[in-house]
Amino acid sequence: MGSWGLDAPALVFVDDALIVIDKPSGLLAVPGRRDRDCAWARVAATHADARVVHRLDQATSGLMVLARGDDMQRWLSMAFAARGVDKGYDAVVHGLVADDEGRIDAPLAADWPRRPRQCIDAVRGKPACTRWQVRARDSGAGRTRLWLMPQTGRTHQLRVHLASIGHPILGDALYGGETSVLAPRLLLHAAHLAFEHPRHGARCVFESPAPF
């Protein structure tokens, strides 16, 4: 266990340009308003040049990349912004999804009266797109395992998009309604990351099996 009572992020890969970790569910990715404990702080305790490139929700587990130093942070941040990073998420949702694959295009904006919630907003929202594929259906439990491929990286995008089509991710306390109690945690895991290495250009692929 980590010194703050949560599992520490596992180091998946480390070199002079980047660090890839496997973040546990329940641990913040970056410092919060009240809680300074986070995945970045724990990595920075032993790798002082670690820099934040992207984030995962506190309830989401899985792969997260940190840069080594400011130059690598700029390079990797630009790669994310240019959609040069392939991301895949394993999720279990409520209900039996009828189609085998699909795409959700729905703009997202902050739901200010109910922060930190996000909402679909055709007027104020920023474009957001999620592709999905069915991996397995469990008719007995009334749930479906999906592979999610976000084409954009909006806050809570996967959670809002799946809830919007009537299939909230199990264990989602913000968007799951009555289904939030059907799992002990949010069943969403960042299982795949792939991008070109910022120094030598070789393709880097990282995989992490879902712990649920």
Contact 51, 72 (CB under 8 A): yes
pLDDT of residue 32: 87
The reported pTM is: 0.94
* pLDDT tier at 206, thresholds 50, 70, 90: very high
pLDDT digits (tens, 9 = 90+) for 45-57: 999 999 999 999 9
Do the domains spanning 10-85+194-207 and 88-188 agree at the CATH topology level? yes
Fold of the 10-85+194-207 domain: Pseudouridine synthase (3.30.2350)
Domain covering 88-188: architecture? 2-Layer Sandwich (3.30)
pLDDT digits (tens, 9 = 90+) for 91-137: 999 999 999 999 999 999 999 999 899 999 999 999 999 999 999 99
- Which of these is catalytic: 15, 37, 49, 57? 57
How far apart CA 143 and CA 109 sit, in angstroms, is 28
* Domain ranges within the chain, ordered by starting residue: 10-85+194-207, 88-188
pLDDT at 83 over 80: yes
- Is 57 considered catalytic here? yes
